[in-house]
């Protein structure tokens, strides 16, 4: 089945530790995104990438980093600089249409990150 | 920057009642998308509207895009327990990124 795989489903981070969240897609989509969702809130864009080896900051990029070395993969690193990392992290992908946002986004099942 | 506001934040209904959520943008949108997120799940794309005044239906769900392309609504007729979840709108203005509203969390009492 085609889709987006995020791992792990649950992740615990110690203070001062960097952690990396995995996101892999086999939909052959060009664009990939990372969102953060806090309880009872909407989706806030962290980073997005429309092509391999290129990515842009979203609205809340501070304390996060990404890479896009392969079309299928878009890992997110939550660094120790992110002071409040506890949240639900969602990865998504889409075709790139006539402009960013014109194509529906397909989401993975998410990773729940907590601080120990 | 572009803002997309959604109301209400929460809605509790009895099964069989209707439900509507509204989405308003501070700027004119080129298109708007709607997503549903079941409890514990991930958002799933429902529909996209692109034309001024557009109305689309999916069974008991009716989606509208305002004439000025600054607002949209999702109406569910005769809610069922399977409709439970959070409904998000996401709008894009020309040259801008897709921006999600904060969602409306719907609970349905059987």
- The overall average pLDDT reported for chain A is 92
pLDDT mean over A84-108: 86
8 Å CB contact between B54 and B40: no
CB-count burial class (<10 Å; 0-12, 13-18, 19+) for A93: buried
Question: Which residue among B42, B95, B101 sits closest to A107, beta carbon to beta carbon?
Answer: B42
| Cβ–Cβ below 8 Å for B88 and A108 | no
User: What's the distance, Cα to Cα, between the start and end of chain A in Å?
Assistant: 35
| Cβ–Cβ below 8 Å for B95 and A99 | yes
Predicted confidence band of residue B70 (pLDDT cuts 50, 70, 90): very high
Closest CA to B83 of B1, B8, B4, B21: B21
Closest Cα in chain A, distance from residue B100 (Å): 6
pLDDT mean over B61-85: 98
Residue B43: CA count within 13 A, CB half-sphere:
35
- The overall average pLDDT reported for chain B is 95
Residue A97's pLDDT is 66
Contact map slice: B 58-97 vs A, CB within 8 A: 88, 90, 92, 94-97
pLDDT of A101 > 60? The answer is no
| Cβ–Cβ below 8 Å for A100 and B100 | no
| Cβ–Cβ below 8 Å for A42 and B97 | no
At B37, list the tokens. Answer: 């997120």
Which residues lie across from A16 on neighbouring strands? none
Q: Is B24 on the interface with A (CB under 8 A)?
A: no
| Cβ–Cβ below 8 Å for B43 and A90 | yes
Judging contacts by C-beta atoms under 8 Å, the chain B residues touching residue A39 are: none
Backbone angles phi, psi at B5, to 5 degrees: -110, 140
Chain A with chain B: Cβ pairs closer than 8 A: 56
**Chain A residues within 8 Å of chain B (Cβ atoms):** 35, 40-45, 48, 58, 90, 92, 99-102, 104-110
pLDDT of A1 > 70? The answer is no
Strands (E), A1-116: 4-7, 10-13, 19-25, 31-37, 43-51, 54-57, 64-66, 76-78, 87-94, 106-107, 111-115
pLDDT of A83 > 80? The answer is yes
Chain B, nearest residue to A112 by Cα = B40
pLDDT of A98 > 70? The answer is no
Residue B77's pLDDT is 98
């Amino acid at each position: 089945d085609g889709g987006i795989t995020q791992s792990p489903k649950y992740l615990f981070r110690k203070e001062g530790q960097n952690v990396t969240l995995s996101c892999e897609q086999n939909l052959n989509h060009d664009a990939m995104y990372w969102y953060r969702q806090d309880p009872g809130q909407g989706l806030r864009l962290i980073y997005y990438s429309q092509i391999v080896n290129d990515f842009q900051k979203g609205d809340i990029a501070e304390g996060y980093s990404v890479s896009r070395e392969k079309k299928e993969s878009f890992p997110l690193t939550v660094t120790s600089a992110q002071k409040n990392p506890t949240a639900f992290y969602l990865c998504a992908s889409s075709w790139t249409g006539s402009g960013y946002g014109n194509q529906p986004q397909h989401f993975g099942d998410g990773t729940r990150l907590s601080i120990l | 920057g572009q803002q997309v506001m959604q109301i209400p934040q929460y809605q509790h209904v009895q099964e069989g009642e209707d439900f509507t959520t509204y989405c308003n943008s501070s700027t004119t949108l080129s298109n708007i998308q709607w997503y549903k997120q079941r409890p514990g799940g991930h958002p799933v794309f429902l529909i996209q509207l692109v034309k001024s005044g557009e109305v689309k239906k999916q069974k008991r769900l009716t989606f509208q895009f305002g004439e000025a392309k600054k607002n949209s609504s999702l109406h569910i007729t005769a809610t069922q327990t399977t409709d439970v979840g959070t409904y998000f709108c996401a709008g894009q203005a020309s040259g801008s990124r897709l921006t999600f509203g904060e969602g409306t969390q719907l609970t349905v009492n059987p």
